């Protein structure tokens, strides 16, 4: 494990996660694509959180197991459904002793792992849980080289009694991003940490090779859009070879 406490994200974000993540991502496109890529087989989601994608996948009849390290995030998921099999564990080390048609990690969640070693271990663990021909799918923003001042600050939300700012700094030596959302309200200020290691799609391709996986597709969105120089998001689909 790296520098940060991996349970801190969930402990701080669980109560507001669904409200603040609503309508940011293409949930419907993701669910449609993931259901197709699973080809009717069982699915494993790493960093399942409150079940933004796992719940609608389960509602479509997909058998899904969700792994997450945060009891607070998983408590929110449990309130919604019993159709997702929930495993509270570290996704880099969890061993479920069964194979899946599809494993996935969405919404930049590979970044929550704060070292290259943990990220490589996740690729290996995904591969260990795939049947021959099974797929590992990741969705992240396209990572830009760190800007010269290395820092970013944004206004996320302004209401009369609430101001949410997001700020962060990237360490060029490690690609470690240390950031937080800060919500200021008359009752006080709360911090919502959002830190992790940024990893490019190029580095992911090497991690996949180390894990014995092959790049099958790279899309610019969940609809199979062509990936190119202007893409801001990537959906990368790796496949475990049919024979070793």
Q: Which positions touch ligand SAM (CB under 6 A)?
A: 6, 9-10, 21, 47-49, 52-53, 67-70, 73, 90-92, 106-107, 109, 112
User: What is the closest distance, in whole angstroms, from the C-beta atom of residue 92 to ligand SAM in the complex?
Assistant: 6
Residue nearest to ligand SAM (CB): 49
Picking from 91, 99, 110, 112, the residue whose alpha carbon sits closest to that of residue 12 is: 112
Question: CA 36, CA 237: separation in Å to the nearest integer?
Answer: 12
CB of 178 to ligand SAM, least distance (A): 15
- The token pair at 215 is 């790049």
CB of 45 to ligand SAM, least distance (A): 6
Q: How far is the CB of 203 from ligand SAM (least distance, A)?
A: 18
Nearer to ligand SAM, 6 or 56 (CB): 6
Residue number, 101 or 140, with CB nearest to ligand SAM: 140
Rank residues 110 and 130 by Cβ distance to ligand SAM and give the closer one.
Answer: 110
Nearer to ligand SAM by Cβ, of 98 and 132: the residue is 98
Report the residue number, 191 or 241, with the smaller CB distance to ligand SAM: 191
Judged by beta carbon, residue 110 or residue 159, the one nearer ligand SAM is 110
Decide whether 108 or 133 has the Cβ nearer to ligand SAM.
Answer: 108
In the complex, the smallest distance separating the C-beta of residue 86 from ligand SAM, rounded to whole angstroms, is 12
Least spacing, CB of residue 160 vs ligand SAM, in Å: 29
Shortest Cβ 244–ligand SAM spacing (Å): 27
Q: Report how far residue 132's alpha carbon sits from residue 239's, in angstroms, rounded to the nearest whole number.
A: 8
DSSP letters for the chain: --SS-TTHHHHHHTTTHHHHHTTTS-HHHHHHHHHHHHTTS-EEEES-TT-TTHHHHHHTT--EEEEES-HHHHHHHHHH-SSEEEEES-TTT---SS-EEEEEE-TTGGGGS-SHHHHHHHHHHHHHTEEEEEEEEEEEEPPPPPPTT-EEEEEEEEETTEEEEEEEEEETTTTEEEEEEEEEETTEEEEEE--EE---HHHHHHHHHHTT-EEEEEESSTT-PBP-TT-SEEEEEEE--S--
């Amino acid at each position: 494990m790296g520098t940060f406490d991996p349970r801190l994200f969930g402990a701080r974000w669980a109560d507001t996660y669904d409200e603040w993540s609503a309508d940011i991502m293409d949930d419907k496109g993701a669910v449609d694509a993931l259901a197709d890529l699973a080809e009717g087989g069982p699915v494993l989601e790493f960093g399942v959180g409150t079940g933004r994608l796992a719940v609608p996948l389960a509602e479509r009849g997909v058998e899904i197991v969700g792994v997450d390290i945060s009891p607070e995030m998983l408590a929110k998921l449990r309130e919604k459904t019993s159709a997702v099999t929930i495993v509270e564990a570290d996704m880099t080390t969890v061993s479920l002793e069964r194979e899946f048609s599809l494993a996935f990690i969405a919404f930049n969640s590979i970044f929550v792992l704060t070292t290259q070693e943990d990220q490589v271990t996740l690729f290996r663990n995904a591969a260990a849980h795939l049947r021959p021909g099974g797929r590992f799918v990741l969705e992240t923003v396209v990572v830009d080289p760190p800007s010269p001042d290395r820092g970013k600050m944004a206004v996320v939300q302004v209401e009369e009694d609430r101001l949410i700012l997001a700020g962060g700094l990237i360490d060029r030596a490690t690609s470690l991003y240390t950031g937080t959302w800060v919500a200021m309200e008359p009752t006080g200020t709360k911090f919502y940490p959002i830190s992790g290691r940024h990893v490019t799609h190029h580095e992911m391709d090497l991690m996949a090779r180390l894990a014995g996986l092959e790049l099958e597709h790279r899309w610019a969105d969940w609809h199979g859009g062509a990936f190119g120089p202007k893409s801001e998001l990537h959906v990368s689909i790796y496949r475990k070879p049919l024979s070793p």
